[in-house]
Every structure is written in structure tokens, then in C-alpha cells.
Amino acid sequence: MMQMGKLWILLLLFSVVLQAAGEQRKELGAGVICITAGTPDRLTPYGFCGEQPQNEALKTFGDGSLPFEIDKILIEKTSRGYRVAVPLADDEKLYGLGLQAQSFELRGKKKHPIVNDTPMDIGFTHAPEPFYVSNKGYGILINTLRYTTFYFGTLQQKEQQGGVSAGKSQVETSTDKLYENKTIGNAVWIDIPGCQGIEVFVFKGPDMKTVVARYNLLCGGGCLPPMWGLGLKYRVKGDFNQNEVMQMSRYFRDKRIPCDVLGLEPGWQTQTYSCSYLWNKERFSNHAAMLEDLFSKGFKVNLWEHAFVHPSSPLYEPLKQLSGDFKVWNGLVPDFALPETRKRFADYHRNLVKEGVAAFKLDECDNSNIASSEQSWSFPELSEFPSGLSGDEMHQTFGLLYLRTLSELFKEENRRSYLDYRSSGLFASSLPGCLYSDSYTHSEYIRMLTNEAFAGLLWCPEVRTANNEKDFFRRLQTVLLSPDAMINSWFLRFPPWLQYDRDKNNKGEFLADSTRMENMSRKLIEQRMALIPYLYAAFAKYHFSGIPPFRPLVFEYTEDENVTTLDDEYLIGDDLLAVPFTEEQTKRKVYLPRGLWYNFDTHEKYEGGKYYEVEFGLDELPLFVRDGTLLPLAEPVQMVMPETVFHLQCVAFGKAVRATELFEDDGVSYNFEKGSFNKLSLSLEKGKVRMNRTGNYRQKRYVVKGVTFVDK
């Protein structure tokens, strides 16, 4: 009793201290603390997360740790909202803020993570997240839809001395010198204007990988796409009609170029910009027959749309009272923050899903370019929505809630989908969507493949036109080494490998050596198809353990200073290292981290911890394989069907070969969430691959054909 009494007194004192600061703390899951100050907004990103925390998986990481006392995080009310300061060590490096295109490591920068259709270094992105991760092994997240600003060590408080070297003045005569940032801040400052209170989520480590895994598990674990989602997706030209779509479907099968998904662009609708969501009978006289034919060829069909509802749409009247008070392109802006809106929007789309439509592309859910005074097409920040969200808050979550609306529909139908969308935000990890962008700078596209890991997001560096053959193949390699292998020919009549110049393509003027181009493209796509079992296993790990399938080297090799700012290489799963090339690069500098590595194509061996100049051909995936990997490569299929069985030719790299895990289920339903799956362990025994299968899923999707050895 005495003991209990003391405990109560301690708890009481603790509570008094917190009350004095006006703050409260609670644990949301193992190693995730929510600090609340003031009266937070009623509608928050975490509130919009439709998934429960994966508590059991979270617990496997333990309680975690922080490099500073949690009460060193300063949360202050100001005249205009709240501000937060988090201690920052001199040698600390920071990452995150969603899908940043133009920066990787964030120290010394000011960032304004706001949704925008044109990524900009100030922080504007298709997928902003007020969430950053430190190499010291913790993460800070502001659970808000407000427009925040982060100052990553750039500010100096009045009482802080010595931020700039004092002493004798040197008169500078260039603005570059004058304005270079000489301040050494000792905190990350975060500005959250407009709110009456705030929730700060603190993710404990001990390392970045754990922090991110906790984040992903808190919102349900990473998404597991349908297995066909890992195949090739080809989007046809926007104005294609039924015959042209069918022609394109025959092209792929005739040429034996693997393709899982055909995507239709606006032309399928009677009215676009804004949308009717009605099949256009002039272009598609019998869309049901077309769908049937496509399905019989093994294609999955993805339909373009955006969320702005045209007056001619059957959705207009049902959504009129459930939308914002301003229109976009004369179309309603649905208030997806309301369950009733999501239900009505989903119910309408259920008809399309019942017709067999496998996915949607959710366009223009980001915002018009907020840095431009023209092309101001989206709803204004001053909009009001029936849910109580204002326009700015809605922008920060619009794309995510749109995706959630449709992915929940698919889940109700017990069909997994894999959608394209153009904006996201916090707590999207479990949603089956890949982000895309029109911005089309290859090096930025590669950088986003490194940044997506810090944000629970998936990114598609889509390919359409190219400057030349090298540019085309380098871009194709990159998209094939991404979560979503998409060729986006929305303004091209023919596949870009036949002609990568837009005007010539649309005139049907093919490249002189288009057959060689086609063959090289097929070879690359087949290499992607060979990796599907491996990729699928990486995604299963994303779902169950929270570890992202694509991640930068600093994520794993945090202590290695050579990878701190390395934003053009990334790991795929546990054992592959991608080193994408851009158009300018015949050779490129590659850093290989500690250990031994093998060239995926030539099998040449490299010692890690060093830089190399390497070459990869245009028709080879630029990959390295970790020493000890038993890599399961599938015989390429034309498409992935529920009945598809993968014939695996394994490659054993190096002398001490580890077991490899694969994930086996129907690949299309959510039955795996109810335990209907197998885990396969492939291991080497006496020069052969032994397969150990555990689980209750009946169908066998993998057969090992053999194994070859590299550097045995």
C-alpha cells in the first residue's frame, strides 16, 4: 500500500508538472508518444487515418529511446498559433517532410511542406508531411493539416550567442557571400500558425529504420499491392477510342511485351475537366465488350478521373450539399472528410468496379501551382467545407482522402487495387497508391525514390517522352526499379520506344531502329517481371514490419558519412542496390556500402565502403546484389494472374548464402489480412535450393527450377 501510495504521489506530481506546461503525454503505440498542448484542431491527419496501429508489430521494436529528454521539446503558444523547438545536435542530419523532389538532407534549410502540383525546394510537393526523421534515431511529427514551416537549424534566438563568427568585419561584395547561411542553430523550429493547440508525435528509435517502421505500423503497416500491380502499366493516349485501346492491347500481346495494366485517360468519359464519370458512347460504343476482351487477354483496366464533379454527372446532385463552397472547372469539390461523401462517391464507383475496373488514376488532387499567379485552377484556401475543414487544410489531405475513399471501396469488395494519385500526406502508408508528377526531371524522380521511405509513400517516376535514346532507356530503367512500372503515353499514340519524340510519335513516324528499341525495352521489362517475387516479398515486409521496400542508404548505413547526402542510390528490399543512370551519364560514380557487392548483370565483385566509376548498358537494370544473397528470379510472364505460378531460377551470390523469404497468397484479395498466406523460406542445402513453406494458403505460386552460383 505504501508503494502504491508513493506511485500515486509521483504520478500526481508528474501530472502537475505537465499541467503547468499545459501539456499532456500519451503513448499511441510502443515508442510513439503524443504530446498535446492547448486545444488541438478537431480534424487532424491522424484522425483521418482509417487504420488501427499494428500494436503487436510495434512492440517488437521495444519502447525505444531518444537522444534528449522529451521535455526538452519546447511547445509554445504565440500570438498567431503555436511554435515548437526540438533540440538539435551539431552533427545531426535530418530527413523527410514527405515526398521532397529537390532536397534530401534538410539541415540548414527552411521548408514549407505544402501540397503543390509543381515540386519546389521550399518544400512544395505532391505529398507534404510535417514529419522529419533524425540520424540520431528519432522522428518528430506535427499532427496538423495547417500550413507549417520548418527551420532546420537556421534560426538564432536572441539569447543564443555566437551563431555567426564575430571578430573583424570582412566587407563582402557579392550577394551570394552576403546571404550565405552562417547561422548555426541549436534547434529545429516549427511554425504552426492559426491553431489553438497542437499535437506533437515523437517517434523513438534507436535508429531511423525503427522510427520509420513505427510510423508505418502506427497507421496500419505499409500497403501490399495486388501482385499484378508490380507488373507493367501502360496508359494510352487521352483521346483514344475503343478500337485504339484494343489495338494497343493486341500490340502488347502480339509483341510479347509484358503488360498487366492498361490505363484509360480522360477520353473514356462524356465530360472531363470537370468529370462526369460516365462512359463516352461516342468513343466507346460497347465498353462492356471491350472490357471483356481486355480481361480475357489478362489486362487489368485503370480509369483516369479527378474528383471535381461536373453538373452532368450522376454524382452532382448527391454531392451538392457535401462539397466545398467553390467549384473547380465548374465541378463540385467533394468534402471527402465526411464519411457520407466518401460513401456516396464510393457507391457510384462501385458500378465501375463491378464492371471489372481494377484501379483508378486520381489526377489533379494536389493543387494548382501555388507559386504561380496564373493557372490557378484548384479550390482556394478560403474555401469552406461542410466537415469544418478550410481550403488550406483540405488541400493538405484532399488527395489522401480521395485515395482512401476508393481504396476502401475496393477493400469492401475484397479486391486489392493499386491506384495512381497526385497528392498525399501523413499516415498514407497503408493506402494502395503510387504518387506521380508531371515535373519530369529525371534526377528529381530518382531523388524521390530515396525520399519516399521517410514518409510512408510510394513514388512512380513515370516515363513518356525522351530527349534521345539514352534518356529514354535510363528513364525506363528507373521506372522499372520503382514501386510502379508505368509508361504514361497520355499524349502519345504509340509506345515511346517506337518514337520518343512527341510530334513524330503522334504522326506515326517511328525511329529507324524501332525494332531494336522495342527489343531492348522488352528485355528490360522482362527483368522487372523476373523480380516480382522478390519485390512482392519486400512489400509484404512493408506491410507486416513497416520497413519500406525502397529506401536510401542512409536508412541502413546511418553511421557511414559517405551516404549522408547520397540521394541517387537506393536499396530495393534487403539485398538489391539500385544505381539509376541519367541521360548525361555513360559512367557514373557509385558508392557501395560496407560488405561485398556483385554487379547484377556481369556478376563482377566489388568491395564495399568505396566509390567506383561503373557502367551499365541501356538494356541492363543498374543493380548491385549484396554478398550472400539467394536471389529468386522468375521466368518472366506476360502478366500476373491469380493462377500464375512463378518459376524461379535462383542465383546464389558469394560464399555464405543466407535464406530468402517469399510471400505467397492469392495476390488479389485481402484474405492475407485474415491469415490466408504462406511464408516461404528458400535456403541453400548441398548446392540445391530448399523451400520451406509455412502457412495455410493452399495454392502454390512459386516453383524453384534451379540455382546458379556466382563467386561460389
In the range 493-552, which residues lie near a second copy by CB under 8 A?
Answer: none
Q: Considering only residues 420 through 439, tell me which ones interact with a second copy, judged by CB under 8 A.
A: 438
Q: Does 712 bind a second copy (CB under 8 A)?
A: no
Stretch near a second copy under the rule CB under 8 A, chosen from 243-251, 374-382, 585-593, 685-693: 374-382
Stretch near a second copy under the rule CB under 8 A, chosen from 183-191, 419-427, 644-652, 690-698: 183-191
Q: Does 390 bind a second copy (CB under 8 A)?
A: yes
Rg over CA atoms, the chain: 26
**Residue 50 CB contacts under 8 Å (≥ 6 apart), including other chains:** 220, 404, 408, 430
Interatomic CA distance for residues 86 and 631, integer angstroms: 43
Shortest distance, position 48 Cβ to a second copy, whole Å? 17
Q: Does 194 bind a second copy (CB under 8 A)?
A: yes
Interatomic CA distance for residues 324 and 5, integer angstroms: 54
Q: Are 522 and 495 in contact (CB under 8 A)?
A: no
Among 36, 154, 341, 451, binds a second copy (CB under 8 A): 154
Shortest distance, position 373 Cβ to a second copy, whole Å? 4
Shortest distance, position 604 Cβ to a second copy, whole Å? 39
Shortest distance, position 388 Cβ to a second copy, whole Å? 6
For cell 525494332, what's the residue?
A: 515
Q: Does 179 bind a second copy (CB under 8 A)?
A: yes
Among 71, 121, 347, 584, binds a second copy (CB under 8 A): 121
Q: Does 109 bind a second copy (CB under 8 A)?
A: yes
β-sheet bridge partners, residue 203: 32, 139
Among 56, 71, 239, 509, binds a second copy (CB under 8 A): 239
155 vs 618, which CB is nearer to a second copy?
155
123 vs 636, which CB is nearer to a second copy?
123
CB atoms within 10 A of CB 359: 28
Which helix (H) or strand (E) segment holds residue 317: the answer is helix 316-319
18 vs 278, which CB is nearer to a second copy?
278
80 vs 250, which CB is nearer to a second copy?
80
Among 52, 65, 78, 515, binds a second copy (CB under 8 A): 78
Interatomic CA distance for residues 377 and 326, integer angstroms: 11
Cα dihedral across residues 227, 229, 232, 237: positive or negative: positive
> What is the DSSP secondary-structure string of 338-369?
SHHHHHHHHHHHHHHHHTT--EEEEET-S-S-
User: Nearest CA to 416 among 484, 353, 482?
Assistant: 353
Stretch near a second copy under the rule CB under 8 A, chosen from 55-63, 328-336, 454-462, 553-561: 328-336
265 vs 666, which CB is nearer to a second copy?
265
92 vs 384, which CB is nearer to a second copy?
384
Shortest distance, position 22 Cβ to a second copy, whole Å? 17
Using CB under 8 A as the criterion, what x/- string covers residues 348-367 for binding a second copy? --------------------
**Residue 572 CB contacts under 8 Å (≥ 6 apart), including other chains:** 481, 535, 538, 549, 550, 578, 623
Stretch near a second copy under the rule CB under 8 A, chosen from 10-18, 119-127, 525-533, 543-551: 119-127
Shortest distance, position 227 Cβ to a second copy, whole Å? 32
218 vs 492, which CB is nearer to a second copy?
492
**Residue 129 CB contacts under 8 Å (≥ 6 apart), including other chains:** 96, 97, 98, 113, 141, 425, 426, 455
Q: Does 704 bind a second copy (CB under 8 A)?
A: no
Interatomic CA distance for residues 554 and 563, integer angstroms: 5
Q: Does 558 bind a second copy (CB under 8 A)?
A: no
**Residue 352 CB contacts under 8 Å (≥ 6 apart), including other chains:** 277, 303
Q: How would you label 634-662 residue by residue, b for 16+ Cβ within 10 Å and e otherwise?
A: bebbbbbeeebebebbbbbbbeebbebbb
Among 61, 189, 345, 421, binds a second copy (CB under 8 A): 189
Q: Does 99 bind a second copy (CB under 8 A)?
A: no
Q: Does 374 bind a second copy (CB under 8 A)?
A: yes
Stretch near a second copy under the rule CB under 8 A, chosen from 49-57, 159-167, 547-555, 580-588: 159-167
Stretch near a second copy under the rule CB under 8 A, chosen from 162-170, 289-297, 469-477, 695-703: 162-170
394 vs 668, which CB is nearer to a second copy?
394
User: Nearest CA to 663 among 633, 618, 693, 640?
Assistant: 693
160 vs 468, which CB is nearer to a second copy?
160
User: Nearest CA to 409 among 341, 363, 322, 457?
Assistant: 341
323 vs 482, which CB is nearer to a second copy?
323
Q: Considering only residues 568 through 627, tell me which ones interact with a second copy, judged by CB under 8 A.
A: none
359-363 vs 419-421, strand pairing mode: parallel
Among 163, 356, 386, 608, binds a second copy (CB under 8 A): 163
158 vs 674, which CB is nearer to a second copy?
158
Binding residues for a second copy, how many (CB under 8 A)? 87
Q: Considering only residues 445 through 504, tell me which ones interact with a second copy, judged by CB under 8 A.
A: 490-491
Among 11, 70, 371, 659, binds a second copy (CB under 8 A): 371
Q: Does 135 bind a second copy (CB under 8 A)?
A: no
Set of cell numbers at residue 24: 499532456
Q: Does 237 bind a second copy (CB under 8 A)?
A: yes
C-alpha pair distances (Å), 125 with each of 238, 322, 366, 397, 602? 25, 27, 9, 13, 38
101 vs 547, which CB is nearer to a second copy?
101
Interatomic CA distance for residues 279 and 285, integer angstroms: 9
Q: Does 151 bind a second copy (CB under 8 A)?
A: yes
Q: What is the DSSP letter of 552?
A: E
> What is the DSSP secondary-structure string of 200-262?
EEEEE-SSHHHHHHHHHHHTT------GGGGSEEEEPPTT--HHHHHHHHHHHHHHT----EE
Q: Does 158 bind a second copy (CB under 8 A)?
A: yes
Shortest distance, position 311 Cβ to a second copy, whole Å? 7
Stretch near a second copy under the rule CB under 8 A, chosen from 172-180, 289-297, 402-410, 444-452: 172-180
Q: Considering only residues 267 through 326, tell me which ones interact with a second copy, judged by CB under 8 A.
A: 267, 269-273, 280, 311-312, 320, 323-326
Stretch near a second copy under the rule CB under 8 A, chosen from 73-81, 206-214, 472-480, 687-695: 73-81
Task: Return the beta strands (E) in 354-453 as ranges.
Answer: 359-363, 419-421, 433-435
Interatomic CA distance for residues 331 and 315, integer angstroms: 11
Q: Are 261 and 230 in contact (CB under 8 A)?
A: no
C-alpha pair distances (Å), 152 with each of 87, 106, 204, 425, 475? 10, 7, 19, 20, 32
Please state the three-class secondary structure of 479-516 as a single string.
HHCCCCEEEECCCCCCCCCCCCCHHHHHHCCCCCCHHH
331 vs 425, which CB is nearer to a second copy?
331
Set of cell numbers at residue 378: 484548384
Stretch near a second copy under the rule CB under 8 A, chosen from 60-68, 386-394, 425-433, 562-570: 386-394
Backbone angles phi, psi at 571, to 5 degrees: -85, 145
